[in-house]
Amino acid sequence: MNTRTHSPLVLAAALLLSLSSTAQAAGSHGGGHGASAFGQPAEASAASRTITVTMRDNLFEPESIAVKAGETVRFVLRNEGDFVHEFNIGTAAMHAAHQEEMQMMVEHGVLEPDRINRDRMKMDMGGGKTMQHDDPNSVLLEPGKTGEIVWTFTKATDLEFACNVPGHYDAGMVGKLSIKPKSS
């Protein structure tokens, strides 16, 4: 019953797009912009280990994760809450920017408290912009759904994994993701 939110192909394509195009559609959110600074999506087969993260209202279990630079990790995400939640890898600043985009999604009826309106998501918001939520470092899940991200961390840094659905981050739905140097 696992729902793969993103096929690796789409993820790769999206990443390519975000790398190659500086004029990324504003409506589609650019949370992925900075993601390449610390890593890139990978094939599941490349993962050295799997970390399961459970999403509840409004928190993650576990609340902190440590990985090593160079490691490829498969994150399996289960939404066991009653609300839509996101798992997004990034810096605090990236999350803050992404929260504004998700606020727009709420205001345009794309994101409802307990469901994602996928028809609206694809709707043209004007100027060819849509509200697709398709960044490779993020997965958005309805209640009861499961998704995954496979990510290769390239350098040591401190990140956060967060849910940027409006209000959730501030309510505490954010965890520490520390990427240790290779040597340690």
Partner 1 sequence: MATIVVMAAAFAVAAPARAATYDITIGRITVNHSGTPKSAIAYNGQTPGPTLRFKEGEDVTINVTNTLDESTSIHWHGLILPFRQDGVPGITYDGIAPGETFTYRFPIVQSGTYWFHSHSGMQEQDGAYGSIVIDAADREPFKYDREYVVLLSDSHDHSGDRILANLKKKSDYYNRQQRTVGDFLRDVGENGLSATLRERADWGEMRMMATDIADVQGYTFLVNGKNADDNWTGRFEPGERVRLRFINASAMTYFDVRIPGLDLLVVQADGNNVQPVKVEEFRIGVSETYDVIVRPTESRAYTIFAESMARTGFVRATLAPGADLQAEIPVQRRPPLLTMADMGMDHGSMAGMDHSGMAGMDHSKMAGSGQGSMAGMDHSKMAMGDKPDAFYAPGSGLAPTAAAGGKFLSYADLRAQKPLYPDREATREIELRLTGNMERYFWSINGVKYSDAEPIRLKYGERVRFKFVNETMMTHPMHLHGMWSILDTGKGKWDPVKHTVSVAPGTTLYTETEVDAPGQWAFHCHLMYHMATGMFRKVIVEGGPQSAALSD
- Told to check if 83 binds partner 1 by CB under 8 A, we report yes
Binder of partner 1 out of 36, 117, 166, 178 (CB under 8 A): 166
Q: Which is nearer to partner 1, 70 or 167 (CB)?
A: 167
Query: Residue 20: what residue type?
Result: S
- Told to check if 103 binds partner 1 by CB under 8 A, we report yes
Place of tokens 């849910």: 163
**Dihedral, CA of residue 90, residue 91, residue 97 and residue 101, to nearest 10:** 20
The pair of three-digit structure tokens given for residue 136, joined into one six-digit string: 């490779």
Q: Which is nearer to partner 1, 83 or 153 (CB)?
A: 83
> By CB under 8 A, which span of 4-12, 72-80, 143-151, 166-174 interacts with partner 1?
166-174
Residues 1-40 that bind partner 1 (CB under 8 A): none
Please, what is the minimum distance in Å from the beta carbon of residue 96 to partner 1? Answer: 11
Query: Residue 173: what residue type?
Result: M
Q: Where are the beta strands (DSSP E) in the chain?
A: 39-41, 49-56, 59-61, 64-68, 72-79, 85-90, 111-112, 115-116, 138-141, 146-153, 157-162, 174-180
Please, what is the minimum distance in Å from the beta carbon of residue 27 to partner 1? Answer: 16
**Dist. CA 121–CA 132, nearest whole Å:** 5
- Told to check if 170 binds partner 1 by CB under 8 A, we report yes
**Dist. CA 143–CA 57, nearest whole Å:** 10
Please, what is the minimum distance in Å from the beta carbon of residue 55 to partner 1? Answer: 12
x/- mask, partner 1, residues 33-72, rule CB under 8 A, reads -----------------------xxxx-------------
Query: Residue 141: what residue type?
Result: L
Q: Which residues bind partner 1 (CB under 8 A)?
A: 56-59, 82-83, 103, 107, 113, 166-168, 170-172
